[in-house]
Chain A
Amino acid sequence: MSAPASSKSKPPFWTIARRDAAAGYVFIAPQLLGIVTFVLVPLGLVFWYSLHEWNVLASSFNFVGAANYQMLLADPNLPAVLTASAIFSAGLVVLNMSLALLLAVLLDQKLKGMVVFRTLFFSPVVVSLVAWTIVWSFLLQANGGINGMLAVVGIEGPNWLRTPTTAMISVVVVQVFKNVGLNMVLFLAALQGVPKELYEAARVDGAGRFKQFRRITLPMISPTILLTSIITIVGSLQVFAQIAVLTQGGPGMTTTVLVYYLYQQAFQFHFFGYGSTLSILLFVIVAVLTFAQWQLRKRIVFYEN
């Protein structure tokens, strides 16, 4: 700090820097207060609850230390739940990202009517989630529209949502078509941001389409791929409505993903303590995956602004 021009009069307390800082705190206050009240305090509470045996119906609330965590490790349902979550997330992310990239590349071509195609591919994003899911559960029934279509060409389709092997595939596919438009738009924006000169230079060097895609397009849009994959993975771990409407976790436990299991334990069976333990597990998985992807950024992202 430089000395004030007149050393005799006291410098004003409200300097520009101080006024700025005050404005900054006022601007972030609502958000910060909200995060503390509705995210951080509940996170502390959920950890505290997870150390208790808490049955709401029996109104018991006893400190049991790590017992819920021991129960978690011994839970015979846990392998099935984690498997269902892993299959759902992996299937969703792989299908979603590759289909989004394919559509974005197609829609990036110079052709008439691209706006119409873009609108149509994007339209499921704005159809309300449960409405979309209800239509699909209608279509996927044993005597539903999809098997009706298959029968026309002489194929007898399974009862998609009641057969263990096809139930999870169906849930993933329904979700992919619902939301792939979002990633498609983000990829399209990234594609359009790739400098055209790079392609021209590559063509002069005799690089074909595929090589151009691998050597120029993919590296240039890799930051977008990373960010959308983080969002898609975290989103896939939060899936609930689709499961609740399409399969209720069945047949058996084949589509009981972690959030659905958590909901059942806490709000259907009223085991709040164990539900909280499952919440902590969900939190740890989300945190680990996000952190891992963030670290990967250094290895796989070739280009950043």
Chain B
Amino acid sequence: MKTDLSPRMKVGLYGLMCVLLIPFVFPTWWMITSSVKPISDIFAFPPDLWPRRFDWSTYAQVFELQPFARQYWNSAYIAAIVTVVTMIISSMAGYAFARIRFPFSNALFMVVLLGLLIPSEVTIVPLFQIFLSWGMINTHWPLILVPIFGAPSVFATFVMRQFFISLPNELEEAARVDGLGRFKIFWTIALPLAKPALGAVAIFTFLHSWNLYLEPIVFLSSTQMFTLPQALTQFTDAYGGAMWNIQLAAATMTAIPVLLVFVVAQKQFVEGLAHTGLKG
């Protein structure tokens, strides 16, 4: 619907979008500014959009009340492993389903797609039992293995398959005439072309792992092993009440790094996601 708009319509559009933006931007703003307000100012009336006084001590308290650095590291390394290995496994499977003819490939693809139908919430009870019998409760293995091999990676495989299907045949045929094997073709020709799809898969997978909540609270029990989402909810006083300024400081620290990466790379970010093969 791209038509040139009249100046009046332009002003109207900008105005409408600024109003619509409030619930998207305001909470993050509130989180950051409140995290440096002294606790007495946090519920000031009327609310302050900018802190009257700055109190940075909450940021130190985050690390005193919990092994927050350790928990940060837990989340970061788990998400990194899950992202890299998912990219490898889903691009290989996606490539095979898209470009290699082999017996039962359609039936096997259906089996894999079943994974999309069965979210890990459905299987959380048996998964708990399986990891219990493997001695992996209160370790990070469930948070790594289930996303990489289970239902969450199926979406990645689906995205990669959609991308590889659209590659022209000629690219690979020349390589085959030269006698290149499948793995060489995949690694040197198809995969480098798949960067946009891989980017989308990386973003989805990273955010999914970073946000996991049900699985950590089911599988982990010691604060040393906690991941960030779980750790954020533990900043409570002796009566179970939330210590708001400390919770918000911790929340800010988990939100800001990803937000910064996003602002710097937002073009690739958004276009990568738009490029997930969902365009029809």
Is A87 in contact with chain B by the CB < 8 A criterion? no
Among B127, B211, B280, the residue within 8 A (CB) of A303 is B280
**A24-B1 in contact (CB<8A):** no
**B153-A34 in contact (CB<8A):** yes
Please, which residues of chain B bring their CB within 8 A of the CB of A266? 124-125, 128
Number of A positions contacting B (CB below 8 A)? 111
User: Which chain A residue has the least Cβ–Cβ distance from B101?
Assistant: A20
CB distance from A170 to the nearest CB of B (A): 12
**A19-B127 in contact (CB<8A):** no
Among B21, B230, B248, B254, the residue within 8 A (CB) of A138 is B248
Whole-angstrom CA separation of A186 from B214 in the bound complex: 27
| Interface locus among A5-13, A75-83, A156-164, A280-288 | A280-288
**A127-B123 in contact (CB<8A):** no
Please, which residues of chain B bring their CB within 8 A of the CB of A130? 211, 213, 228-230, 232-233, 251, 254
Interfacial residues of chain A within 15-59, with CB under 8 A of chain B in the complex: 16-17, 19-21, 23-25, 27-28, 30-35, 37-43, 45-46, 49
Given A135-B248, A148-B46, verify A279-B122 contact (CB < 8 Å).
yes
Given A19-B181, A123-B259, A245-B233, verify A43-B102 contact (CB < 8 Å).
no
**B114-A35 in contact (CB<8A):** yes
Whole-angstrom CA separation of A212 from B105 in the bound complex: 42
**A38-B25 in contact (CB<8A):** no
Q: Mark A184-196, 1 if CB is under 8 A from B, else 0.
A: 0110111101001
Q: Mark A176-213, 1 if CB is under 8 A from B, else 0.
A: 01000110011011110100100100010000010011
Whole-angstrom CA separation of A238 from B229 in the bound complex: 17
Whole-angstrom CA separation of A40 from B154 in the bound complex: 13
Interfacial residues of chain A within 125-156, with CB under 8 A of chain B in the complex: 125-132, 134-139, 143-145, 148-149, 151-152
**A212-B1 in contact (CB<8A):** yes
**B96-A125 in contact (CB<8A):** no
Please, which residues of chain B bring their CB within 8 A of the CB of A185? 270, 273-274
Is A300 in contact with chain B by the CB < 8 A criterion? no
Please, which residues of chain A bring their CB within 8 A of the CB of B186? 27
Among B207, B247, B266, the residue within 8 A (CB) of A119 is B266
Q: Mark B249-280, 1 if CB is under 8 A from A, else 0.
A: 00110110011011100110110011110111
Given A28-B97, A34-B150, verify A21-B247 contact (CB < 8 Å).
no
Is A249 in contact with chain B by the CB < 8 A criterion? no
Whole-angstrom CA separation of A112 from B202 in the bound complex: 30
Q: Mark B215-242, 1 if CB is under 8 A from A, else 0.
A: 0011000000000111011000000001
Please, which residues of chain B bring their CB within 8 A of the CB of A279? 121-125
User: Which chain A residue has the least Cβ–Cβ distance from B253?
Assistant: A131
**B150-A49 in contact (CB<8A):** no
Is B117 in contact with chain A by the CB < 8 A criterion? yes
CB distance from A243 to the nearest CB of B (A): 10
Is B118 in contact with chain A by the CB < 8 A criterion? yes
Whole-angstrom CA separation of A186 from B278 in the bound complex: 7
Whole-angstrom CA separation of A191 from B138 in the bound complex: 46
Is A63 in contact with chain B by the CB < 8 A criterion? no
Is B163 in contact with chain A by the CB < 8 A criterion? no
**A28-B93 in contact (CB<8A):** yes
Given A24-B96, A35-B114, A134-B247, verify A122-B266 contact (CB < 8 Å).
yes
Whole-angstrom CA separation of A227 from B89 in the bound complex: 24
Among B27, B248, B274, B280, the residue within 8 A (CB) of A305 is B280
Among A137, A139, A148, A241, the residue within 8 A (CB) of B211 is A241
Please, which residues of chain A bring their CB within 8 A of the CB of B90? 31
Whole-angstrom CA separation of A150 from B10 in the bound complex: 29
Is A244 in contact with chain B by the CB < 8 A criterion? yes
CB distance from B212 to the nearest CB of A (A): 9
Whole-angstrom CA separation of A149 from B1 in the bound complex: 37
**A282-B122 in contact (CB<8A):** yes
Is A121 in contact with chain B by the CB < 8 A criterion? yes
**B255-A131 in contact (CB<8A):** yes
**A117-B17 in contact (CB<8A):** yes
Whole-angstrom CA separation of A276 from B275 in the bound complex: 37
Please give me the 10 A-B residue pairs with the lowest Cβ-Cβ distance, nearest first: A34-B149, A189-B274, A223-B280, A27-B96, A42-B123, A24-B102, A241-B213, A23-B182, A38-B150, A45-B126
Contacts A109-B2, A263-B214 known; 17 new A-B pairs at CB < 8 A: A24-B100, A31-B92, A35-B112, A35-B114, A41-B126, A106-B13, A108-B2, A122-B266, A127-B255, A130-B213, A131-B229, A132-B28, A135-B31, A143-B45, A177-B24, A227-B278, A241-B213
Complex A-B: 29 CB contacts under 8 Å: A19-B181, A28-B92, A42-B126, A43-B122, A45-B123, A45-B129, A46-B125, A106-B16, A108-B1, A110-B2, A117-B17, A119-B266, A121-B20, A128-B229, A135-B251, A138-B248, A148-B47, A149-B47, A191-B1, A196-B2, A203-B3, A221-B280, A237-B119, A240-B121, A262-B121, A263-B218, A266-B124, A283-B117, A286-B117
